[in-house]
Structure 1
C-alpha cells in the first residue's frame, strides 16, 4: 500500500463511519504515524509504506471509526498556539476555552495580576498558557483527579515552565489551597447531567465524566467556587469563568449575590456567551459587614 492509497483508504473508512471531518482526520492520522509533512507527502505519495507504519495507520483509523477522539489517538492538541499532551483523563482543550485565556490575559495585564489560581485545571492548558504569555506570572492548578494532574505536570515540563512558577495540587476545589491570589480562573464542569447523554460520542464516551457533569442544573461548581473564592484574594481580585451558552445570567446573579462588582459577559466567535468575569473587593466586604453590625 502506498501513502496515497493509505490516505484514500482512510478517508473512505472514516467517511463511511460518519466522521464529519473525515478527510482532515485521515490526513492527520497519516501524518501522526508516518511523520510526513504535507510537502513531503506529495514527494513520496507513491512510495510503499513500511509494514509497521501501515499497521499503525490501520489501527489508528479503526479507533477513529469507533469514535475515539482524534486527540486521544495522537496524544496532542494545540491550544493558544502551544502543544499540549492529552489523554482520556483530561478534557480535550477546545477553541472556546481560548476566549477565557485571552480574557484572563487581558485582565491580568490591566490589573497587574501576577499570582493565578486555576480551579479544575485538568490538562493545565489554561494556567500554563497564561504563564507562557507572561513570564512574571506564577500560579497553582487544582484538580480532584490525580491522573489529570499527572498530565498537567507533563505539560508543564513540555512547555518548559519551571516548577517554581507552576504548582499542581490535588484538591476538591479549594480544599487544599493555601495562600492568596490576584486572579482565579476556572472552566468547571457545567453540563447538566441529563444533557450529557445527548452529547456526541467522542465527548460522552471518551471525555472524563467528572469534567463534564455540572449536576442537575449545571451550576453546582459555580455556586461552590463563587462562595469560596473570596477567601483566596488578598485584597482585590478577579474571578473569571468559562460558561455554557445559556448560563450567563445565572452565573452573574450568583456573583452579584456574593458581593462581586464590575461583572461582565464576553461572547465567543459564534456570538454566544462564553466568559463571565467580575471583581471581588475585601475592603468592600468588610465595610458591608461593619454596616450590618
Structure 2
C-alpha cells in the first residue's frame, strides 16, 4: 500500500468509529509513524509504505478507534508552542488553558512578579510555560498525584529548566506550601460530579478522574484555595484560575467575599468565560505588626 492508500484507510476507519476530526487524527498518526511533513507527503504519497511502519500505523489507528486519546498514543501534546509529555496520569493540556497562561503572563509582566506557585500542576504545562516566557521567574508546582509529578519533572528536564528555577512536590493544595508568592495560578478540577458521565469518552475514560471532579457544584477547590491563598500571597499578589464556562459569577463572588480586589474575567477564543483572577491587597497580621514596630 502507498502512503496515500494507508492514510485513506486510516481516515475511513476513524470515520466509521465516530472519531471527531477523523481525517486530522489519521494524519497526525501517519506523521508520528513516518516523521513526514505534509510537504514531504505530497512528494512521496505514491511510494510504497514500509511494512513495519504500516503495521505500527494500523495498530495506532485501531487504538484511536477505541477512543484512546491521540495524545496517549503519541505521548505528547503541544501547549504554548512547547511539546509536553503526557500519559494517563495527567490531564491532557488543552488550548483553553493557554488563556490562563496568557493572562498570568500579562499579570506577571505588569506587576513584575517573579515567584510563581502553580497548584494542581499536573503535567506542569502552565508553570513551565510561564517560566519559559521569562527567565527571571522562579516557580513551585504542587499536586496530590505523585505519578503526575513524575510527568511534570520529565517536562521540566525536557524544556531545559533547572531545578533551581522550578521545583515540584506533592501537596494537597496548600498543605505543604511554604513561603509566599507574587502570583498563584491553578487549573483545578471543576467539573460537577454529575456532569462527568456526560463528557466525551476520551475525557471521561482516560483523563484522571481526580483531575476532573470538582465535587457536587464544581466549586469545591475554588472555595478552598481562595479562602487559604492569603497565607501564601504577598500583598498585591494575584490569584488566577481557569474556570468552567458557567462559573465566572460564582467564583468572582468567592473572590469578593475573601477580600480580593480588581476581580476580572477573561474570555476564551469562543467568547466563553475561561479565567477569573483577583489581587490581594490586605497585609497579613504579622506584616502589620512589623510595619507598626
Class of the TM-score when normalised by the shorter of the 2 chains: over 0.9
Distance in 2 of aligned mates of 1:161 and 1:285: 36
* Cα pair 1:96 1:274 within 8 Å, conserved: yes
Query: Which residue pairs with 1:29 in the alignment?
Result: 29
In the other structure, the counterpart of 1:120 is: 120
- 1:262 CA drift (Å): 0.9
Q: Deviations over 1:136-191 (max 9, x none)?
A: 00000000011111111111111111111010011101111111110000000000
- Uncovered stretches (5+) of structure 2, i.e. residues with no partner: none
Please, which moves more after superposition, 275-284 or 119-128? 275-284
Conserved 8 A contact 1:169-1:177: no
Cα distance, 1:89 vs structure 2: 0.7
2:200 and 2:156 mapped to 1: Cα distance?
Answer: 30
Q: CA deviation at 1:235?
A: 2.7
Q: Superposition pairs for residues 169-180 of structure 1, below 5 Å?
A: 169-180=169-180
Query: What's the counterpart of residue 134 of structure 1?
Result: 134
**What is the alpha-carbon distance in structure 1 between the residues aligned to residue 155 and residue 162 of structure 2?**
11
Q: 1:164 to 1:276 in 2, by over 3 A?
A: same
Is residue 150 from structure 1 mapped to residue 150 from structure 2 by the alignment?
Answer: yes
TM-score by length of 1: 0.96
Shift of 1:286: 8.1
Q: Between Structure 1 and Structure 2, how many residues are aligned?
A: 289
Q: RMSD across aligned C-alpha pairs, in angstroms? A: 1.6
Structure 1 distance, partners of 2:288, 2:180, is: 21
| Contact 1:193 1:216 (8 Å CA) reproduced | yes
Q: Is the 2:231–2:284 Cα contact (8 Å) retained in structure 1?
A: no
In structure 1, what is the Cα distance between the partners aligned to 2:240 and 2:62? 40
Cα distance change of structure 1 residues 287 and 166 upon mapping to structure 2, 3 Å threshold:
closer
Per-residue CA shift, 1:224-260, capped at 9, x if unaligned? 1111111012333100000001101111111111111
Query: Which residue of the partner structure matches residue 62 of structure 1?
Result: 62
Aligned partner of 2:239 in structure 1 is: 239
Alpha-carbon distance in 2 for matches of 1:33, 1:168: 33
Structure 1 stretches lacking a partner, 5+ long: none
The alpha carbon displacement at 1:10 in A equals 0.1
Aligned-pair CA distance for 1:284: 7.7
Q: Secondary structure at the match of 2:176?
A: coil
> Structure 1 pair 37/160, CA: closer, same or farther in 2 (3 Å)?
same
Q: How do 1:1-293 and structure 2 match up within 5 A?
A: 1-283=1-283
DSSP-derived class of the 1:255 partner? helix
